[in-house]
């Protein structure tokens, strides 16, 4: 069947089940933009900045589990996507980003709005394509979606020159993809899995250390069953929050730089660490030489390049987290003798972890000022953990990770790897598009919200009732905290004295605006904001001196925490 490149693009999206794209137009997109005029079955969310388009498609993907899709123009339109692409790459989020390009005969000639987006994004994409022939377009789109969602997920970029989108070609969409050099391993090696079970059965102080791989592989139910079966305490990375219920008796909280005392001490004192879908990020490990220094390490990961990259591993298992955990449960069931008395044999260990939790809980000084932790606790209480929470990066991110109990997978959207300020608000827009009837909240700082605040116009235009809670301390708070602790309180560059009036700004965009200045206003205002059905910004004036604790200083081992 003969079609234009633009028509092939749309038919290919339909074949992939795409119902939403986040986009921004330009001269190079015009043939596709015009063809999309007739594609009412594909929701087209027009953002205000290309970075917002990619973060929104990222939030859509993290919340729904689908591949997120964005479409931008050439040159600056394409380069504006780079931060969003790198954010998704670091956190293994499946996206397909379509950038349009100048005509093929102009490529390499410094044409107007030309940029080598393939070269620019090669280090932060899983794969990238420049389409030179319209007859290749459908095959490339099929491969792009396959690569994005398979193996360790990630972003794939497809660059489409303007003349390719105008040319006539044959449309044929294949059912299968076969790429000779790309064969992800899903099935963990049975011998390695049995060795891991033997090692766990001989241990006395085990701990499960789980990451974003639990979420992307859909392994939460298997993780819960495995932990309960053997009574093994569980700690999550930031990316793994929600993969294990935050209110479960075996849950120790997040580990790492701002992790709980119990989680960090459990890792430090353990004799076996079972790492599943986590990559030993430096913010999670602290000083690498002293991370779990007395423990044997079992590492389950679908990406073989992640194994022994940062921490030496004793039993590597390459495979999908869900499959490996299921296989572990099968082996335990088949050979019950090895583990039937295991929970009782580690009871002293589980008592010790509970003692740490009781003696050093997450807390903060209650001195009559408005504290961000209190606001987050109140949000959890009002939402009962059923909201989708996006965060920006900084103190707002860490307080949210600590004090909101994430009960389900895909309930937190946060930039864990790249640490991208400005991520949370457009990501929350993407999540709200995916789930129009759910309460979606963006936890922000007064610095980070200003990096993509223009997307308030997108939220208003498409009637997306996202709630933005700004924990406003008039500082770039996390940097200020480091200046306070390690730079003798020289607060250079971190004071934000000239921020806008956020309530008036929200109203200027057509959104609702509220302000909270006292603790006794919190519940009333939040309740009204959560029920008003409108895009809403809430300016919460918190104590500017509040810091995030516990804190492990950079380069220190996890056991050396600064506490409140």
Distance between CA 462 and CA 199 in Å, rounded? 54
CA quadruple 366, 370, 374, 380: dihedral, nearest 10: 170
51 catalytic per annotation: no
Q: What is the token pair recorded at 323?
A: 């499959």
Q: Which helix (H) or strand (E) holds 8?
A: helix 5-15
Among 66, 162, 296, 467, which one carries the catalytic annotation? 162
> What's the CA angle centered on 367, arms 362 and 370, to 5 degrees?
80
- Known catalytic residue at 366: no
In the annotation, is 443 catalytic? no
Place of tokens 């290749």: 136
Give the active site residue among 16, 50, 222, 546: 50
467 is catalytic: no
CB 328 within 8 A of CB 193: yes
Beta pairing class for 168-170 and 412-413: unpaired
Only one residue has tokens 């394509």, namely: 129
Of the candidates 192, 329, 208, which has an alpha carbon nearest to the alpha carbon of residue 276? 208
Contact by Cβ (8 Å): 455, 466 = no
The answer to whether 456 and 506 have CB atoms below 8 angstroms apart is yes
Distance from C-alpha of 191 to C-alpha of 560, rounded to nearest angstrom: 37
Grouping H, G, I as helix, E, B as strand and the rest as coil, residue 86 is: helix
Tell me phi and psi for residue 388, to 5 degrees.
-95, 125
Category of 29 on φ-ψ map: left (φ > 0), alpha (ψ -120 to 50) or beta: alpha
Annotated active-site residue 112? The verdict is yes
The contacts of residue 123 (CB under 8 Å, 6+ apart) are: none
Of 90, 254, 478, 551, the catalytic one is 478
Tell me which of 113, 352, 454, 461 is the catalytic residue.
Answer: 113
Give CA–CA dist 15/7, Å, rounded. 12
Q: Rounded to an integer, what distance in angstroms lies between the CA atom of residue 371 and that of residue 457?
A: 30
453-to-55, 126, 399, 458, 499 alpha-carbon distances in Å: 13, 29, 21, 10, 12
Rounded to 5 degrees, φ, ψ at 518 are -130, 155
Contact 246, 407 (CB under 8 A): yes
Q: Alpha-carbon distance 341 to 201, whole Å?
A: 9
* Distance, CA of 443 to CA of 213 (rounded, Å): 24
Separation CA 215–CA 242 (nearest Å): 8
Residues annotated catalytic, as ranges:
50, 112-113, 162, 478
């Amino acid at each position: 069947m003969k079609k234009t490149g633009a028509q092939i693009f749309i038919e290919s999206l339909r074949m992939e089940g795409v119902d939403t794209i986040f986009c921004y137009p330009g001269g190079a997109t015009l043939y596709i933009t015009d063809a999309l005029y007739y594609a009412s079955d594909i929701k087209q969310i027009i953002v205000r900045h290309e970075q917002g388009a990619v973060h929104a498609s990222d939030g859509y993907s993290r919340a729904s589990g689908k591949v997120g899709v964005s479409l931008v123009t050439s040159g600056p339109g394409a380069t504006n996507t780079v931060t969003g692409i790198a954010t998704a790459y670091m956190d293994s989020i499946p996206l397909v980003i379509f950038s349009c390009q100048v005509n093929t005969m102009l490529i390499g000639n410094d044409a107007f709005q030309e940029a080598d987006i393939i070269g620019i994004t090669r280090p932060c994409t899983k794969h990238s394509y420049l389409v030179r022939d319209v007859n290749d377009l459908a095959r490339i789109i099929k491969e792009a979606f396959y690569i994005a969602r398979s193996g360790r997920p990630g972003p794939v970029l497809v660059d489409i020159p303007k003349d390719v989108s105008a040319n006539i070609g044959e449309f044929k969409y294949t059912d299968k993809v076969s790429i000779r050099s790309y064969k992800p391993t899903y099935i963990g090696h049975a011998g390695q899995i049995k060795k891991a079970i033997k090692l766990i059965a001989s241990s006395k102080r085990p701990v499960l250390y789980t990451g974003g791989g639990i979420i992307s592989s859909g392994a939460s139910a298997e993780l819960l069953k495995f932990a309960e079966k053997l009574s093994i305490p569980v700690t999550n990375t930031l990316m793994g929050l929600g993969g294990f219920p935050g209110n479960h008796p075996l849950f120790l909280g997040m580990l790492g730089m701002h992790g709980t005392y119990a989680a960090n001490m459990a890792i430090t004192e353990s004799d076996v660490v079972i790492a599943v879908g986590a990559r030993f990020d430096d913010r999670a490990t602290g000083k690498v030489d002293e991370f779990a220094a007395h423990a044997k390490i079992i590492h389950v990961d679908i990406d073989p390049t992640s194994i022994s990259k940062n921490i030496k591993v004793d039993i590597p298992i390459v495979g999908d987290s869900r499959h490996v955990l299921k296989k572990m449960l099968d082996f335990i069931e088949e050979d019950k003798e090895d583990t039937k008395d295991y929970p009782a044999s580690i009871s002293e260990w589980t008592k010790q972890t509970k003692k740490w939790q009781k003696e050093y809980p997450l807390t903060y000084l209650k001195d009559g000022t408005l504290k961000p932790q209190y606001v987050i606790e109140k949000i959890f209480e009002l939402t009962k953990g059923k909201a989708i929470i996006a965060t920006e990066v900084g103190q707002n991110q860490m307080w949210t990770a600590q004090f909101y109990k994430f009960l389900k997978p895909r309930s937190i959207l946060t930039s864990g790897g790249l640490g991208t300020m400005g991520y949370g608000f457009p990501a929350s827009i993407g999540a709200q598009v995916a789930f129009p009837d759910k309460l979606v909240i963006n936890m922000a700082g007064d610095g980070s919200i200003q990096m993509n605040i223009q997307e308030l116009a997108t939220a208003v235009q498409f009637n997306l009732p996202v709630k933005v809670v700004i924990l406003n301390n008039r500082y770039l708070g996390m940097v200020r905290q480091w200046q306070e602790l390690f730079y003798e309180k020289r607060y250079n560059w971190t004071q934000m004295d000239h921020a806008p009036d956020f309530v008036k700004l929200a109203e200027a965009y057509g959104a609702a605006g509220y302000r909270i200045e006292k603790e006794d206003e919190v519940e009333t205002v939040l309740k009204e904001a959560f029920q008003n059905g409108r895009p809403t910004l809430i300016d919460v004036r918190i104590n500017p001196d509040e810091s995030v604790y516990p804190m492990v200083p950079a380069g220190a081992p996890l056991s050396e925490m600064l506490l409140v």
